[in-house]
Amino acid sequence: MVNIAVAGGTGKVGRTILEVLKSQTRHKPFLLTRKNAPSNDGSVTSVTVDYSDAASLTEALERHEIHTVICCLPYEGNALEVGQGNLIKASDASVHTKRFVPSAFGINYPKEAVEELPVLKHYFQAIETLRQSSLEWTIFQNGCFLDYWGHPHIKSYLRPSPFGIDIAGKVAAIPGDGDTRFTVTYSFDVAKYVVAALDLDEWPETTRIAGDIITWKEFVDLAENTTGSKFEVFYDPIEKLERGELTELPSQVPCYATFPKPRFQWFMAIFSRWTADEEICYIPAELNAKFPDIQPMTVKAMLETYWRA
């Protein structure tokens, strides 16, 4: 048994991982938090930290003998640049900390994406910092989260960010020609694999997970067969997406209340375009083979469970 600390464990992916971590008995879970947030059930030890102070972070990691840090800090503000940056430095300095998982849990981001999403600069900087450290580390890649097409019915702590297919609205806006394979994984399955990987003797620099691998055309066919409805299908050319434009889906409109429409469409146009590039969004099921007992949710299973007519 070792002590595992989750940074950002009250957020989206972090909360999911912490919940799965709490359900096992092999390792002891800790929550690193900026606020004093004691666990309601006593199964998690909360540790209040200051992410702006690397020395105090090191002291906290050593005091609680943290072996592995799982960072789930958000891609917002200076959380990656300052928070994760200092956490890596602190982990490297801690005599007890041996492993580190940086905040990723997504796709194979291309380096040129920094031009469109400047925050990714700190994602790549974290990788370089880890390579120069004494820590063992791995990046988890899982493609797109399947949760986005299960909302509002599926259990999920992720913020709704629908694109490509609006199952409730019976509309699809397919990026490109719809024949490119991409990977989707349910957030709780990602968490199960992350927790399982804690027991591996060695970690590669990249750990790849796949709940399902599918094309947009296959996704639409499954959705139509499950709901018994014919979808209205649009195709968004790559050139259109490169301009930051995309066909609006009815399910996207409520998102504008917290994510202004122009920025939402620009942001989702980028990710929609990436699903048409297998170098970015096709993530093979490499870790799956090591843990056959974990049966991840497929697109078909999600549709059958939450959208069957």
CA atoms within 13 A on the CB side of 71: 30
Q: Is the pLDDT of residue 306 over 60?
A: yes
Average pLDDT of the chain, as a whole number:
96
Q: Is the pLDDT of residue 41 over 70?
A: no
Q: What is the pLDDT of residues 71-124, one digit of tens each?
A: 999 998 899 999 999 999 999 999 999 999 999 999 999 999 999 999 999 999
Q: Is the pLDDT of residue 232 over 70?
A: yes
Domains of the chain: 3-137 (3.40.50.720), 144-184+212-282+290-306 (3.90.25)
- What's the confidence (pLDDT) of residue 216? 99
Average pLDDT, stretch 127-135?
Answer: 98
User: Confidence class of residue 35 from pLDDT cuts 50, 70 and 90?
Assistant: confident
User: Confidence class of residue 39 from pLDDT cuts 50, 70 and 90?
Assistant: low
Average pLDDT, stretch 128-147?
Answer: 98
